[in-house]
């Protein structure tokens, strides 16, 4: 039961972007299309799960004062792997995400989960926590990508959905649209679930 809880809390109750307010930069920057948002979500989830597993395994061996630099080295190893794998297998997404791939290393979600969860919990729980947080993050940025792509371009995943009569609001795929989308998403979340 508790393992299941470790998994589900990241998706809604402690959603990293909407509730904990961390990991905002990639969420806003790469969510102009569904495809880029999905690529970012997968990359971050991979790093999050792998680093949670390794940190959880090493948690007894890591001295308390040295933990942050050690976490960062572990995380940056996985980020380098993702960086090179993406460049080899999907160069177009790699190009679209640009500097945001190496920046996964300072994504607050990953260091935050390492410090707050993986460092204190057994491997299985940490894996599920990483998976849940990663999925929660991916869901939000894909949703943002869908909203922005639909309103700003009239398409989803590149195929037109809204018909020819729709006049796309270009602002939604430009930077201001990202702030606007997440502002409204948070307001709606607050309206439905109330003050946290």
Contact flags string 28-67 toward other proteins, x per CB under 8 A = xx--------------------------------------
Q: What is the spatial distance between Cα 162 and Cα 152, in angstroms, rounded to a whole number? A: 11
Residue among 120 and 190 whose Cβ is closer to other proteins: 190
What residues numbered 120-139 form the site for other proteins, per CB under 8 A?
none
Please list, in sequence order, all residues whose beta carbon lies within 8 angstroms of the beta carbon of residue 88, skipping any fewer than 6 positions away. none
Binding-residue pattern over the window 154 to 183 for other proteins, x denoting contact by CB under 8 A? -----------------x--xxxxxxx-xx
Q: Which is nearer to other proteins, 59 or 189 (CB)?
A: 189
Cα–Cα distance for residue pair 147/128, rounded to 1 Å: 28
CA distances from 133 to 103, 128, 167, 192 (A): 18, 8, 36, 21
What is the contact mask toward other proteins in residues 79 to 118, using x (rule: CB under 8 A)?
Answer: xx--xx-------------xx--xx-xxxx--x-------
Point out which residues bind other proteins (CB under 8 A). Answer: 21-22, 24-25, 28-29, 68-69, 72-73, 76-77, 79-80, 83-84, 98-99, 102-103, 105-108, 111, 171, 174-180, 182-184, 186-188, 190-191
């Amino acid at each position: 039961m508790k393992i299941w809880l470790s998994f589900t809390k990241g998706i809604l109750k402690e959603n990293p972007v909407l509730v904990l307010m961390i990991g905002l930069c990639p969420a806003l920057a790469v969510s102009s299309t569904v495809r880029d948002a999905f690529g970012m979500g997968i990359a971050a989830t991979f790093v999050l799960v792998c680093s949670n597993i390794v940190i959880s395994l090493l948690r007894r061996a890591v001295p308390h004062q040295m933990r942050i630099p050690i976490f960062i080295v572990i995380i940056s190893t996985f980020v380098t792997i993702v960086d090179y794998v993406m460049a080899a297998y999907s160069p177009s997404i790699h190009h679209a995400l640009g500097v945001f791939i190496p920046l996964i290393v300072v994504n607050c979600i990953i260091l935050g989960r390492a410090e707050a969860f993986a460092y204190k919990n057994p491997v299985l729980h940490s894996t599920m926590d990483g998976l849940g947080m990663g999925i929660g993050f991916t869901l939000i940025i894909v949703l943002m990508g869908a909203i922005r792509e639909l309103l700003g371009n009239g398409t989803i995943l590149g195929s037109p959905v809204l018909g020819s009569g729709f006049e796309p609001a270009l602002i939604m795929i430009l930077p201001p649209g990202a702030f606007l989308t997440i502002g409204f998403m948070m307001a709606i979340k607050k309206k439905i679930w109330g003050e946290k």
